[in-house]
Amino acid sequence: MSTPWIDACGIHTFYGSSHILHGIDFTVGQGETIGLMGRNGMGKSTLLKSLMGLVKPRAGSVAVAGRDMTGKPPYEVARLGIAYVPEGRGIFGNLSVVENLQMAARAGTRGQRDWTYERVLETFPRLKERLGHGGQQLSGGEQQMLTIGRALMTNPDVLILDEATEGLAPLIAREIWRICSLIKDSGISSVIVDKNWKHVTQITDRNVILVKGQVVFDGSSDALHAEPLLLEQYLGV
């Protein structure tokens, strides 16, 4: 089997004395699209931050592309091809759409430049109409498109999307799901956190559910659909 892009073992993460993640194993294989689910406060964002080096796990290890990155800073993790779109986004509001995209441009870890400025604009027609606008003039949905577009400009191997469609109008959310499918088809691995399990499982190969900082389910979308009681018990649907 090829080396996974991300391979985390036995992660324990704390905020002060609060023990949030209790020994999580989490892998992202090459070309895999993974849904990370669970109710509010179960530790999804904390897991993503632990993978990215934004929060330092107290125990366990994180390998990226076969290299031990445990405790390494976020920019080093990002340089190994992991693009992270945090909850609540984080574009540069005082820069235009063009500037936000162009400042992110770089080749990927294998020199790939599949995602060019032109391709990103083709993928996000709405952004194309707003090139000169400042980041802060965009709607929430457009800001989310811009953050995803910016992440793609780095030609990542893995795209991590926290709360992919949170707070977006249904039509815009649908557009984000369309883009997630395109990203999957392009061969980029992704980890998608979203409340809408129906949309998530339509495009994911594998789904991981967290309850109180532990993995309670790790399986295919078909396996999850076949167990409606799990959905009710773990996701409250």
Ligand X SMILES: Nc1ncnc2c1ncn2[C@@H]1O[C@H](COP(=O)(O)OP(=O)(O)OP(=O)(O)O)[C@@H](O)[C@H]1O
Select from 29, 38, 53, 141 the one that contacts ligand X (CB under 6 A).
38
Q: Give yes or no for a contact between 212 and 19, defined as CB atoms under 8 angstroms apart.
A: no
Select from 33, 45, 50, 201 the one that contacts ligand X (CB under 6 A).
45
- Binding segment for ligand X (CB under 6 A), chosen from 24-32, 44-52, 115-123, 180-188, is 44-52
Select from 6, 8, 20, 63 the one that contacts ligand X (CB under 6 A).
20
H or E segment at 174? helix 170-185
Select from 8, 32, 33, 44 the one that contacts ligand X (CB under 6 A).
44
Select from 35, 43, 53, 149 the one that contacts ligand X (CB under 6 A).
43
- 91 lies in the binding site for ligand X (CB under 6 A): no
Residue nearer to ligand X on the CB measure, 44 or 199: 44
What residue ranges in 172-225 does DSSP mark as E strands?
Answer: 189-193, 206-211, 214-219
- 15 lies in the binding site for ligand X (CB under 6 A): yes
- 13 lies in the binding site for ligand X (CB under 6 A): no
- 40 lies in the binding site for ligand X (CB under 6 A): yes
CB-based burial, 201-224: b 16+ in 10 Å, e otherwise: bebbebbbbbeebebebeeebeeb
Using DSSP, state whether 92 is helix, strand or coil. coil
- 41 lies in the binding site for ligand X (CB under 6 A): yes
Of residues 54 through 83, those in contact with ligand X by CB under 6 A are none
Strand order in the sheet with 59-64: 18-28, 6-15, 59-64, 67-68
- 167 lies in the binding site for ligand X (CB under 6 A): no
Strand order in the sheet with 214-219: 82-85, 158-161, 189-193, 33-37, 206-211, 214-219
The two tokens of residue 38 are 């669970």
Using DSSP, state whether 198 is helix, strand or coil. helix
- 17 lies in the binding site for ligand X (CB under 6 A): no
Minimum Å distance from CB 41 to ligand X?
A: 4
String of DSSP letters for 34-82: EEEE-STTSSHHHHHHHHHTSS--SEEEEEETTEE-TT--HHHHHHTTE
- 207 lies in the binding site for ligand X (CB under 6 A): no
Select from 46, 144, 190, 207 the one that contacts ligand X (CB under 6 A).
46
d(CA 142, CA 135): 9
- Binding segment for ligand X (CB under 6 A), chosen from 1-9, 34-42, 139-147, 222-230, is 34-42
Residue nearer to ligand X on the CB measure, 211 or 230: 211
Residues in touch with ligand X (CB under 6 A): 15, 18, 20, 38, 40-46
